[in-house]
Amino acid sequence: MTFDFEGGHRATSMTSMTSMTPSPSPSPSPGPGASLTAVDIVVLVIYFMLVLAVGFWSMWKTKRSTVDGYFLAGKSMTWWPVGASLFASNIGSGHFIGLAGSGAAAGIGAIAYEWNGMLMVLLLGWLFLPIYIASGVTTMPEYLQRRFGGRRTQLFIAVLSLFIYIFTKISVDMYAGALFIQLALRWNIYVAIVLLLSITALYTVAGGLAAVIYTDAAQTAIMLAGALTLMGFSFAEVGGWNALMEGYAHAIPSIRVPNSTCGIPREDAFHIFRDPVYSDLPWPGVIIGMSVPSMWYWCSDQVIVQRSLAAKNLTHAKGGSLLAAYLKILPFFAIMLPGMISRILYTDDVACAEPEQCKKICGNQVGCSDTAYARLVMELLPTGLRGLMMAVMVAALMSSLTSVFNSASTIFTMDLWKSFRSHATEWELMIVGRVFVLMLAVASVLWIPVVQASQGGQLFIYIQSISTYLQPPVSIIFILGCFWKRTNEKGAFWGLSIGLLVGCIRMLLDFIYPAPLCYEEDTRPAVLKYVHYLYFSIVLSLITLVVVVVVSLATEEPKPEQISRLTWYTRFDPVEPKVNEVPVERSIKTIEITDQKDEMGVVGKEQEDTSDTKTCHHRKDSSSSVSSIQSQSRLMSAVYWICGMERQKEGESPPAPEQIIGSLEEKPRLRHIINANLIICISVTAFIIGFWA
């Protein structure tokens, strides 16, 4: 994510300091070199073929006709695709456009979000994941339902998560991808986005989480290769590290608003810990206020946690967290620093400081720093590499969208649909999950006009507001639910409700009274003018914490089944089958015979014993599939395979027995290796934060 720092969207290059005329190529679209050549098109085609090949390969590899197979990739993923998918899901096209724009506008301050994420993803692997794995859940709202009982908290979080996905994550990446396509290729936004969404939805619908994770791994390699290549060209063009350090401070645009600080680079541009009162990112807020919503994203957001739950065991899940943490170091060098170099090279364009001039350059009077990365791509890279960077941006966009599509589909299917269709068969759940992905794709296209209207920097302010005002209450609920056994349903629900109410009030005030430009007087209410959004995050967290603790202590204690294997202290409790709370796969198998009688007109024996369920199901499914498969055309069989809706054929053996739910066993040698890596990774994180603090 990126932010519209005060005075930030108004700065630019050394070469233009002595002239009142804009630097070369000030037009919103790059010059003649911007058009794709045949070599660039070949690179793009190769990229799309690679993505589709990986997607179809993963469809062969994974069992997609079960809930676990589709939504959790069969729980068979090793550490490296899990870690790569965590990184790719986080680094979307919004990062390339937004993080580089933040670097151009206000220095390295926003990288604190990336390095904070390094610590949070490690917390996921070592503290939260053991609880989630032990509980045997598929979604985060499902965890809350088991931990607190009842349905209202589960439905509350499910609807809130879908709202955040559709109106923030999708819109950010759609905007950033559309901006790059406009600046670099001059394509029609609708044609480009519909094409990308079609390919994205194809392998998301067909392959499930396995296809998403494996294609994320491939796209991570493409993103890093392209971004590091552009970084090399950028440093070569600016003259090296020392030239960056010296040149950024002098990158002042030639046309500025008189008698104001507009367009002047920040004095603390190369520090992430800044003044606690007057700066754009006060250091107490960075340490505490930033960590709470970041913990929601990395430790309880379905998009992230779902990838870790797909790991074959806890050791591989931890290894994935470690890989993602190490990779999070790279955006500073590969994205943010090139954005700062872009300000030096194209000062009057990237760092324009006068509203009318900015509007002429990029069509946005707030500022043009969000064009920093695309400007480097189109100006510095030769033919062929430009096509590679186009593939990188497309990869970033698609990896983020597929992650959101799959996770939103999981939440809708498992938390909302099953709440109203408790006896839904596995076949029905698979269809609903896939149809919802298509609905999200359509909603994304319909949302494009809103994204286009939400001009550059303002869009990212909107995104940050959503994060700061809606996520802290959810974080507190998960933290207390996982680590305080006394937390009950009433405390969680009222803490969440009051916290979100307070957050929404502040969010509405932000929309009603937007931050003034650097040359305008700040006439906003005191709560907006003097309480930074990161400080408000701390206040909001404390309010939610107090409400949850007080209400929980004033009401009844949670039942034993709401504690066992659902908190840190009870994660090793023995597994006890529950009559009313069986895992979804088992409950589906138990009711599948009755449901399939209604759906397919099959008459069979009534179930007499739970031990005969699989046998009964196999006989009935085999007998029914004999006649149905014979009548199906080859075309329909192919469609069933593409959609992962294969039915069990006659003569096939029953599925292999399910693994023991919630196993936390780890091999001692591997556990020691990853724990040693944990210490190394934390030390590296502490060093880089301390060095740039």
pLDDT digits (tens, 9 = 90+) for 550-601: 999 999 999 999 999 999 999 999 876 544 444 444 443 443 334 444 444 4
302-314: average pLDDT: 89
Which is more confidently placed, 683 or 406? Answer: 683
CA distance 25 to 76: 51
pLDDT value of residue 453:
56
- Tens digit of each residue's pLDDT (9 = 90 or more) over 498-515: 999 999 999 888 878 877
224-248: average pLDDT: 93
| Of 401, 351, 373, 357, residue with least CA distance to 51 | 401
DSSP secondary structure, 454-492, as one string? S-HHHHHHHHHHHHHHHHHHHHHHHHHHHH-TT--HHHH
pLDDT value of residue 450:
63
Of 96-100, 442-446, 655-659, which range is least confident? 655-659
Which of the four pLDDT bands, split at 50, 70 and 90, describes residue 345? very high
pLDDT value of residue 452:
56
Instruction: Kindly provide the b/e burial profile for residues 523-543, where b requires at least 16 CB atoms within 10 angstroms of the residue's own CB.
Output: ebeeebeeebbbbbbbebbeb
| Of 17, 36, 64, residue with least CA distance to 204 | 64
| pLDDT above 90: residue 133 | yes
CA 184, 187, 188 angle in degrees (round to 5)? 140
Of 169-178, 379-388, 486-495, which range is least confident? 169-178
236-240: average pLDDT: 94
Q: What share of the chain is helix, strand, coil (3-state, %, to 5)?
A: 70, 0, 30
CA distance 670 to 122: 17
CA distance 439 to 618: 33
Residues of the chain with pLDDT > 90, as a percent, come to 31
pLDDT value of residue 18:
32
| Of 268, 329, 295, residue with least CA distance to 468 | 295
pLDDT value of residue 11:
34
pLDDT value of residue 66:
56
pLDDT value of residue 45:
81
What residue has token string 């920093």?
372
| Of 148, 68, 134, 169, residue with least CA distance to 443 | 169
As to burial, measured by CB atoms within 10 angstroms (0-12 exposed, 13-18 middle, 19+ buried), residue 120 is buried
pLDDT value of residue 179:
67
pLDDT value of residue 330:
94
CA distance 645 to 376: 45
pLDDT value of residue 239:
93
150-160: average pLDDT: 88
CA distances 164 to 111, 159, 177, 335, 396, Å, are: 22, 9, 19, 25, 19
The residues facing 311 across adjacent strands are 77
Which of the four pLDDT bands, split at 50, 70 and 90, describes residue 63? low
Provide the phi-psi class of 328: left if phi over 0, else alpha when psi is between -120 and 50, else beta: alpha
| pLDDT above 70: residue 649 | no
- Tens digit of each residue's pLDDT (9 = 90 or more) over 364-394: 777 788 888 888 988 888 888 888 887 777 7
282-297: average pLDDT: 91
pLDDT value of residue 123:
96
Which of the four pLDDT bands, split at 50, 70 and 90, describes residue 259? low
Average pLDDT over the chain, rounded to an integer: 77
Which of the four pLDDT bands, split at 50, 70 and 90, describes residue 61? low
pLDDT value of residue 595:
44
| pLDDT above 60: residue 2 | no
pLDDT value of residue 415:
86
The torsion angles phi and psi of 311, rounded to 5 degrees, stand at -70, 150
| pLDDT above 80: residue 56 | no
CATH hierarchy code of domain 14-555+682-692: 1.20.1730.10
pLDDT value of residue 438:
80
Which is more confidently placed, 312 or 75? Answer: 312
| pLDDT above 90: residue 609 | no
The answer to whether 75 touches 343, Cβ cutoff 8 Å, is no
CA distances 320 to 86, 209, 284, 309, 659, Å, are: 8, 16, 30, 11, 21
pLDDT value of residue 12:
33
pLDDT value of residue 3:
38
- Tens digit of each residue's pLDDT (9 = 90 or more) over 179-230: 676 666 666 667 777 777 777 766 566 556 666 777 778 878 888 888 999 9
CA distances 400 to 222, 472, 525, 544, Å, are: 14, 22, 36, 30
Count Cα atoms within 13 angstroms, Cβ side, for 293. Answer: 28
Of the ranges 21-35, 465-479, 590-604, 676-690, which is most confident? Answer: 676-690
The answer to whether 28 touches 363, Cβ cutoff 8 Å, is yes
| pLDDT above 70: residue 119 | yes
Helix (H, G, I), strand (E, B) or coil at 358: helix
Rg (CA), the chain: 26
pLDDT value of residue 613:
43
CA distance 148 to 151: 9
- Tens digit of each residue's pLDDT (9 = 90 or more) over 64-94: 455 555 555 557 788 998 999 899 888 877 7
CA distance 309 to 659: 14
Which is more confidently placed, 122 or 98? Answer: 122
Domain parsing of the chain, residue ranges: 14-555+682-692, 584-642
pLDDT value of residue 584:
42
Q: For residue 491, which amino acid is it? A: G
683-693: average pLDDT: 93
Q: Please give the structure tokens belonging to residue 287.
A: 């340490």
How many CB atoms lie under 10 A from the CB of residue 46?
Answer: 13
As to burial, measured by CB atoms within 10 angstroms (0-12 exposed, 13-18 middle, 19+ buried), residue 476 is buried
How many CB atoms lie under 10 A from the CB of residue 197?
Answer: 23
Q: Which residues contact 445 (CB under 8 A, 6 or more apart)?
A: 190, 193, 194, 197
| Of 469, 476, 474, 471, residue with least CA distance to 532 | 469
357-365: average pLDDT: 78
Which is more confidently placed, 605 or 438? Answer: 438
Residues of the chain with pLDDT > 70, as a percent, come to 72
